[in-house]
Amino acid sequence: MALLNLHLKVWRQKNNEDEGRFVDYNIQDISTEMSILEMLDVLNEKLIKEGQEPVAFEHDCREGICGCCGIFINGRAHGPLKRITTCQLYMRHFKDGETIVLEPWRAKGFPVLKDLMVDRSAFDRIIAAGGFVAVNTGGAPDANAVPIPKHNLEKALDAAECIGCGACVAACKNASAMLFVSAKVSHLVRLPQGKPEREKRVFAMLNQMEKEGFGSCTNTEACSAECPKGISMDVIAQLRREYFRASVRQEKE
Protein backbone atom coordinates (compact mmCIF):
# COMPACT_ATOMS: atom_id res chain seq x y z
CA MET A 1 0.00 0.00 0.00
CA ALA A 2 1.58 3.26 -1.17
CA LEU A 3 1.47 6.42 0.93
CA LEU A 4 1.34 9.99 -0.36
CA ASN A 5 2.49 13.33 1.00
CA LEU A 6 0.36 16.10 -0.47
CA HIS A 7 0.04 19.87 -0.59
CA LEU A 8 -3.57 21.03 -0.49
CA LYS A 9 -4.97 24.41 -1.49
CA VAL A 10 -8.46 24.45 0.01
CA TRP A 11 -11.05 27.19 -0.43
CA ARG A 12 -12.15 28.48 2.99
CA GLN A 13 -15.22 30.70 3.23
CA LYS A 14 -17.31 31.33 6.35
CA ASN A 15 -20.56 32.03 4.49
CA ASN A 16 -21.93 33.55 1.30
CA GLU A 17 -21.14 37.08 2.53
CA ASP A 18 -17.49 36.28 3.21
CA GLU A 19 -14.95 36.90 0.42
CA GLY A 20 -13.21 33.58 1.02
CA ARG A 21 -9.61 32.60 0.29
CA PHE A 22 -7.37 29.63 -0.42
CA VAL A 23 -5.58 28.13 2.58
CA ASP A 24 -2.54 25.85 2.21
CA TYR A 25 -2.26 22.57 4.09
CA ASN A 26 0.35 19.84 4.05
CA ILE A 27 -0.77 16.32 4.80
CA GLN A 28 1.32 13.18 5.10
CA ASP A 29 0.92 9.40 4.84
CA ILE A 30 -2.29 9.36 2.82
CA SER A 31 -3.10 5.87 1.56
CA THR A 32 -3.64 5.52 -2.18
CA GLU A 33 -6.67 3.35 -1.32
CA MET A 34 -8.49 6.29 0.27
CA SER A 35 -11.13 8.28 -1.58
CA ILE A 36 -10.62 12.03 -1.74
CA LEU A 37 -13.39 12.47 0.84
CA GLU A 38 -11.60 10.10 3.20
CA MET A 39 -8.48 12.18 2.68
CA LEU A 40 -10.50 15.24 3.74
CA ASP A 41 -11.66 13.31 6.81
CA VAL A 42 -8.01 12.75 7.74
CA LEU A 43 -7.24 16.44 7.16
CA ASN A 44 -10.13 17.44 9.40
CA GLU A 45 -9.00 15.12 12.19
CA LYS A 46 -5.59 16.79 11.98
CA LEU A 47 -7.12 20.28 12.06
CA ILE A 48 -9.35 19.46 15.03
CA LYS A 49 -6.37 18.12 17.00
CA GLU A 50 -4.52 21.36 16.24
CA GLY A 51 -7.49 23.41 17.45
CA GLN A 52 -8.41 24.67 13.98
CA GLU A 53 -11.76 24.79 12.20
CA PRO A 54 -12.33 21.67 10.05
CA VAL A 55 -13.09 22.01 6.34
CA ALA A 56 -16.84 21.85 5.62
CA PHE A 57 -17.82 19.63 2.71
CA GLU A 58 -20.99 17.78 1.82
CA HIS A 59 -21.53 14.06 1.30
CA ASP A 60 -24.05 11.33 1.91
CA CYS A 61 -23.97 8.01 0.07
CA ARG A 62 -20.28 8.04 -0.94
CA GLU A 63 -21.27 5.67 -3.73
CA GLY A 64 -21.87 8.06 -6.62
CA ILE A 65 -25.65 7.97 -6.18
CA CYS A 66 -26.75 11.17 -4.41
CA GLY A 67 -24.49 13.72 -6.14
CA CYS A 68 -24.13 16.04 -3.15
CA CYS A 69 -20.34 15.53 -2.78
CA GLY A 70 -19.44 17.73 -5.76
CA ILE A 71 -16.15 19.65 -5.50
CA PHE A 72 -14.07 21.43 -8.14
CA ILE A 73 -10.74 19.56 -8.10
CA ASN A 74 -7.72 20.95 -9.96
CA GLY A 75 -10.00 22.93 -12.23
CA ARG A 76 -12.38 20.07 -13.05
CA ALA A 77 -15.83 19.29 -11.71
CA HIS A 78 -15.54 16.05 -9.69
CA GLY A 79 -11.84 15.85 -10.56
CA PRO A 80 -9.68 14.63 -13.45
CA LEU A 81 -11.53 11.40 -14.29
CA LYS A 82 -14.67 11.05 -16.40
CA ARG A 83 -18.00 9.52 -15.42
CA ILE A 84 -17.40 9.56 -11.64
CA THR A 85 -18.48 11.72 -8.71
CA THR A 86 -16.06 13.25 -6.21
CA CYS A 87 -16.62 10.46 -3.69
CA GLN A 88 -15.55 7.88 -6.30
CA LEU A 89 -12.20 9.57 -6.92
CA TYR A 90 -9.35 7.70 -5.21
CA MET A 91 -5.99 9.02 -4.13
CA ARG A 92 -4.18 6.50 -6.35
CA HIS A 93 -4.91 8.89 -9.21
CA PHE A 94 -2.61 11.52 -7.67
CA LYS A 95 1.17 11.58 -7.31
CA ASP A 96 3.33 11.91 -4.23
CA GLY A 97 4.11 15.57 -3.57
CA GLU A 98 1.33 16.80 -5.85
CA THR A 99 -0.63 19.98 -5.16
CA ILE A 100 -4.41 19.48 -5.14
CA VAL A 101 -6.67 22.52 -5.44
CA LEU A 102 -10.17 22.11 -3.95
CA GLU A 103 -12.96 24.62 -4.62
CA PRO A 104 -16.75 24.69 -4.32
CA TRP A 105 -19.10 24.89 -7.31
CA ARG A 106 -19.07 28.51 -8.44
CA ALA A 107 -22.41 29.84 -9.66
CA LYS A 108 -24.90 32.52 -8.68
CA GLY A 109 -27.52 29.81 -8.33
CA PHE A 110 -25.30 27.86 -5.91
CA PRO A 111 -24.41 30.26 -3.07
CA VAL A 112 -21.62 29.05 -0.82
CA LEU A 113 -22.81 27.87 2.59
CA LYS A 114 -19.33 27.25 3.97
CA ASP A 115 -15.97 26.25 2.51
CA LEU A 116 -16.68 23.55 -0.09
CA MET A 117 -20.43 23.36 0.58
CA VAL A 118 -22.93 25.14 -1.65
CA ASP A 119 -26.69 25.51 -1.47
CA ARG A 120 -28.13 23.43 -4.34
CA SER A 121 -31.76 23.89 -3.29
CA ALA A 122 -32.32 25.86 -6.52
CA PHE A 123 -32.48 22.48 -8.27
CA ASP A 124 -35.23 21.39 -5.88
CA ARG A 125 -37.23 24.50 -6.68
CA ILE A 126 -36.84 23.91 -10.42
CA ILE A 127 -38.14 20.35 -10.04
CA ALA A 128 -41.01 21.58 -7.83
CA ALA A 129 -41.92 24.14 -10.49
CA GLY A 130 -42.37 21.28 -12.94
CA GLY A 131 -45.22 19.96 -10.80
CA PHE A 132 -46.51 16.43 -10.55
CA VAL A 133 -47.66 13.93 -13.17
CA ALA A 134 -51.39 13.34 -13.61
CA VAL A 135 -52.02 9.69 -12.80
CA ASN A 136 -55.03 7.95 -11.37
CA THR A 137 -54.83 6.82 -7.77
CA GLY A 138 -55.48 3.24 -6.76
CA GLY A 139 -53.65 -0.03 -7.13
CA ALA A 140 -50.43 -0.07 -9.11
CA PRO A 141 -50.95 -1.31 -12.67
CA ASP A 142 -49.01 -4.26 -14.03
CA ALA A 143 -45.63 -3.33 -15.46
CA ASN A 144 -46.69 -4.27 -18.98
CA ALA A 145 -50.14 -2.65 -18.83
CA VAL A 146 -48.97 0.54 -20.58
CA PRO A 147 -46.87 -0.30 -23.64
CA ILE A 148 -43.90 2.03 -24.17
CA PRO A 149 -41.71 1.83 -27.29
CA LYS A 150 -38.24 0.50 -26.44
CA HIS A 151 -36.52 3.54 -27.95
CA ASN A 152 -38.54 5.93 -25.78
CA LEU A 153 -37.96 3.85 -22.68
CA GLU A 154 -34.20 3.77 -23.19
CA LYS A 155 -34.04 7.51 -23.82
CA ALA A 156 -36.18 8.18 -20.73
CA LEU A 157 -33.94 6.00 -18.56
CA ASP A 158 -30.80 7.68 -19.95
CA ALA A 159 -32.18 11.11 -18.96
CA ALA A 160 -33.34 9.78 -15.58
CA GLU A 161 -29.73 8.97 -14.67
CA CYS A 162 -29.18 12.64 -13.80
CA ILE A 163 -28.46 12.86 -10.06
CA GLY A 164 -28.64 16.65 -9.83
CA CYS A 165 -25.09 17.06 -8.58
CA GLY A 166 -24.57 20.42 -10.32
CA ALA A 167 -21.37 19.51 -12.18
CA CYS A 168 -22.97 20.78 -15.39
CA VAL A 169 -23.45 24.20 -13.81
CA ALA A 170 -19.93 24.26 -12.38
CA ALA A 171 -18.37 23.30 -15.71
CA CYS A 172 -20.36 25.76 -17.82
CA LYS A 173 -18.75 29.15 -18.49
CA ASN A 174 -22.24 30.68 -18.16
CA ALA A 175 -23.20 28.62 -15.09
CA SER A 176 -26.17 27.28 -17.04
CA ALA A 177 -28.43 24.59 -15.60
CA MET A 178 -29.76 23.64 -19.03
CA LEU A 179 -28.46 20.05 -18.98
CA PHE A 180 -30.11 19.39 -15.62
CA VAL A 181 -33.45 20.93 -16.64
CA SER A 182 -33.36 19.20 -20.02
CA ALA A 183 -32.73 15.81 -18.43
CA LYS A 184 -35.74 16.21 -16.13
CA VAL A 185 -38.02 17.39 -18.95
CA SER A 186 -36.78 14.74 -21.41
CA HIS A 187 -37.25 11.97 -18.88
CA LEU A 188 -40.93 12.69 -18.34
CA VAL A 189 -41.92 13.69 -21.86
CA ARG A 190 -40.96 10.28 -23.24
CA LEU A 191 -43.25 8.45 -20.82
CA PRO A 192 -47.06 8.37 -20.96
CA GLN A 193 -47.32 9.63 -17.38
CA GLY A 194 -45.49 12.85 -18.25
CA LYS A 195 -47.39 13.86 -21.36
CA PRO A 196 -50.51 15.61 -19.95
CA GLU A 197 -48.50 18.49 -18.43
CA ARG A 198 -45.69 18.61 -21.00
CA GLU A 199 -46.33 22.18 -22.21
CA LYS A 200 -46.89 23.59 -18.75
CA ARG A 201 -43.85 21.80 -17.36
CA VAL A 202 -41.30 23.07 -19.88
CA PHE A 203 -42.36 26.71 -19.41
CA ALA A 204 -42.46 26.45 -15.63
CA MET A 205 -39.05 24.81 -15.24
CA LEU A 206 -37.29 27.16 -17.65
CA ASN A 207 -38.84 30.20 -15.96
CA GLN A 208 -37.73 28.95 -12.56
CA MET A 209 -34.22 28.30 -13.88
CA GLU A 210 -33.99 31.94 -14.93
CA LYS A 211 -35.34 33.14 -11.57
CA GLU A 212 -32.62 31.19 -9.77
CA GLY A 213 -29.91 33.11 -11.62
CA PHE A 214 -28.46 30.38 -13.82
CA GLY A 215 -26.93 31.49 -17.11
CA SER A 216 -27.94 30.72 -20.68
CA CYS A 217 -26.76 27.77 -22.76
CA THR A 218 -24.27 28.42 -25.57
CA ASN A 219 -23.68 24.77 -26.54
CA THR A 220 -20.04 24.47 -25.50
CA GLU A 221 -20.83 20.89 -24.35
CA ALA A 222 -18.70 21.30 -21.22
CA CYS A 223 -21.73 20.25 -19.17
CA SER A 224 -22.09 16.88 -20.85
CA ALA A 225 -18.31 16.29 -20.83
CA GLU A 226 -18.15 16.73 -17.04
CA CYS A 227 -21.43 15.01 -16.16
CA PRO A 228 -20.65 11.99 -13.94
CA LYS A 229 -23.55 10.09 -15.50
CA GLY A 230 -22.73 11.02 -19.08
CA ILE A 231 -26.02 12.79 -19.82
CA SER A 232 -26.00 13.52 -23.56
CA MET A 233 -26.53 16.90 -25.22
CA ASP A 234 -29.46 15.20 -26.94
CA VAL A 235 -31.62 16.11 -23.96
CA ILE A 236 -31.02 19.82 -24.60
CA ALA A 237 -32.13 19.36 -28.20
CA GLN A 238 -35.23 17.58 -26.88
CA LEU A 239 -35.96 20.44 -24.48
CA ARG A 240 -35.76 22.97 -27.30
CA ARG A 241 -38.18 20.93 -29.39
CA GLU A 242 -40.54 20.77 -26.41
CA TYR A 243 -40.28 24.52 -25.89
CA PHE A 244 -41.02 25.21 -29.56
CA ARG A 245 -43.95 22.78 -29.49
CA ALA A 246 -45.38 24.39 -26.35
CA SER A 247 -44.95 27.89 -27.83
CA VAL A 248 -46.82 26.95 -30.99
CA ARG A 249 -49.67 25.35 -29.07
CA GLN A 250 -49.88 28.41 -26.80
CA GLU A 251 -50.19 30.73 -29.83
CA LYS A 252 -52.98 28.60 -31.31
CA GLU A 253 -54.92 28.74 -28.06
Domain limits of the chain?
3-103, 120-136+146-252
Model confidence at 164: pLDDT above 70? yes
Asked if CATH classification 1.10.1060.10 holds for the domain at 120-136+146-252, the reply, yes or no, is: yes
Q: For the residues 230-253, what does the mean pLDDT come to?
A: 90
Give the number of C-alpha atoms closer than 13 A to the C-alpha of residue 27, restricted to the C-beta side. Answer: 26
Q: For the residues 25-51, what does the mean pLDDT come to?
A: 97
Model confidence at 155: pLDDT above 80? yes
pTM of the full predicted structure?
Answer: 0.92
Q: For the residues 227-248, what does the mean pLDDT come to?
A: 95
132: left (phi over 0), alpha (psi -120 to 50) or beta: beta
Q: For the residues 178-203, what does the mean pLDDT come to?
A: 92
Which CATH homologous superfamily contains domain 3-103?
A: Beta-grasp domain (3.10.20.30)
DSSP state letters, 200-214: HHHHHHHHHHHHTT-
Residue 136: helix, strand or coil by DSSP?
coil
pLDDT tens, residue by residue, 79-100: 999 999 999 999 999 999 999 9
pLDDT tens, residue by residue, 45-73: 999 999 999 999 999 999 999 999 999 99
- Which alpha helices (H) appear in 119-195, and where do they start and end? 121-129, 150-160, 167-171, 178-189
Q: Do domains 3-103 and 120-136+146-252 have the same CATH topology?
A: no
DSSP state of 75: T
